[in-house]
Structure 1
Amino acid sequence: MGYKILCFGIFCVLFAYYIYTPIPENIEERWKVRMIDAVVKTTSLVATLFEETGLMKYEDTFLTLSVHLSKPVSDENVTVIDTDFSDVPVRLYLPEKKSEILRPAIIYLHGGAFVLGSCKMQSYDDLNRWTANKLDAVVVGIDYRLAPQYPFPAALEDCVLVVKFLLQDKILEKYGIDPARICISGDSAGATLAAAATQLLQNHPEYKDKIKAQALIYPGLQFIDIAMPSHQDNEQGPIMSMEMGVKFLTLYLNGNSSLKKAMLRNEHMPEGSRHLFKFVNWSDFLPDKYKKNHIYTEPVLGKLKASYPALLDSRLSPLLASDSQLQSLPLTYILTCEHDIVRDDGFIYVARLRNVGVQVTHDHIEDGVHGAITLTTLPYNLQLALRIRDKYINWLEKNL
């Protein structure tokens, strides 16, 4: 009991400190965002302290404090079922009312920096239930494997397996799904996985053109240059800081503190990787408004002695796909947030997709912050979160 009281006391002291961290002036409901930001920053620091003292792993502290799973509760509108597709756990949302036509299907990949989260979390359960209701659509939430127990590319492999399973004729028929109205979507790390899965499937002869659309909500799309304007402008957040994002990515890559330190200095790329920089050169693709006074400098090569082949892999960084690979992609929706370390990834993807003729809708939220779509439910009920959700749903309604 004394140990718990001590931990609670430490948390309260740190929270009191972080609650005064400045946040951008244009953010709506500033006190709510400030509270959420303080909780996340406090949790991160407590997690770091616990890990360094050997009490608990960094990610386990987050899991203990933040992840609460919901039950598959059906109602008069939607039947909710926990099952598995190709041995991967999924949560299905099946509209109850009869339909004279086949329904669209949305495959949703949750966020959580590849380390946290679940499609069964209350926020994602509410989002997917809302989607099924609003669009009269079958929704599939995927509980893909998480790092560090299952590092890259385990999460992506699970997502691709589920999509391939769903695309079978007998499965489409079983759930009354229109094979011409299927969308892969996700937020944050889930959007990264959605983008990578869509690329793999669209460039596979057996599955080409079977995905009608992809919807990516504040996606992280490259990890070879992490000194873009958005990284620098939002180094401390709100909510997702550079330190935290790089820590989680290190876990996903099965890396150590040397990788984390090198990434924070933008010195993690190996010799021989300079040819990839053209795909993510923000000075070529960013609108002038977001370049501000930043000067482009290449990542430093060859400083990190350990080898991480995933850093060169487009399955980790979808922006590394060539133009010929991108031009086959389907109708695309991308939502970016101004106050977000991965903001510029989305802008670059929009530019590159448009350059090769892919039809793209881009919503940029000037007062947006990373992770907002998970804050639609109580106790948050953030108006920003509701706006993002509605933009996403409205695009799906018009395009599926």
Structure 2
Amino acid sequence: MKNLQTGDQTLVKTMNKSIILKLIADKGPVSRAQISKVTGLNKATVSTQALELINDNFVYEIGVGKSSGGRKPVMIYFNNLAGYSIGIDLGVNYILGVLTDLSGNIIEEITKPLNGINFDYIIKNIISTIENLIHMAPDSPYGIVGIGIGVPGIVDKNGNILFAPNLKWTQINVKKIIEDTFNIPTRIENEANAGAYGEQLYGAGKNIDNIIYISIGIGIGAGIMINNTLYTGSSGISGEIGHLSIEANGIKCSCGNRGCWELYASESVLLSEVEKHQALTDEDGKNIESIINEARNGNIKVLQILNTIGEYIGIGLTNIINTFNPETIIIGNRMAQFANWLTNPIEHMLEERLSTYHKNNTQIYFSELGNYSCALGASYFSISNFFSNKKLTVI
């Protein structure tokens, strides 16, 4: 019984410390008296736990606040610079790496184009990106607390990449390679799942319990958040929405299916259609940035291609809304940069195909984080794992 009581006391202490730390992170700077009032914990408990958090470098005192009478209170602030996390968004044709503090603020970033899908080539570029971000990190008590990598493929619950069709990868253990190289805890996650977390924590999905994040890059994936929890399916591989068939006898896909949504509504389609129709005035600049410039300049061919892609995006969204009836859909990844030209054709398709009941109950937004949704979500996973190992909760 004595051991059980000791265990109970340890658990309660840990829970109290998490409650206090989260409040400081969310509301700081706050005084010990404010913490006691908001949490209902007695002042002695707050003082003891706050001192432990100060000794652990997770919070610090920043001077005195205003007083309503008597001695001015000492204010406590979350030390978001106690450590740093690395988030990697691995695209098929790019790598985006960010160094964030423990609050998810971007401190440094690196973007690299990828000119091939050879595994050794991509791993070399991932490693060099991580190395550079580590060197950029300021000194801190905990250093780099973790690495998160979002990948465009099916990832199981152990972080194994089962299949990444656009990279032509099968059964790849990137987690082991990165951990063996850097000796830093690493989390591998599907890029759309990471993006869903990024948007819910820091972007358009804030304070929304039920969202579906649609990542439209070279392929299309979905991160499904139900009651603030990521839905991963029975084996952890849900969300491969880009391989939903929208044409029964359509184009053959590398996944083995035909008529997959991503073959009609993705960045790869945009790039191939622009080349096919010789839509760019600058033939040396066949990339997203040059296509955006052409759209801004009113290039008719580019605008027609974007309109068609927008209609196909709308068709896919119709199926998703009919299936899930989500509170919010967020469109992210690199195609979100074309929001100005995709919004009208998407809305036209939804107006034409959805029932009034579904139309009126789902809000559709484009990402507030732009290209950073996945990288920030991947960084969050590492931060969360770090605090979880300390038996603490912040985010």
When normalised by structure 2's length, the TM-score is 0.27
Decide which structure has the larger Cα Rg and report it.
2
When normalised by structure 1's length, the TM-score is 0.27
More strand by share: 2
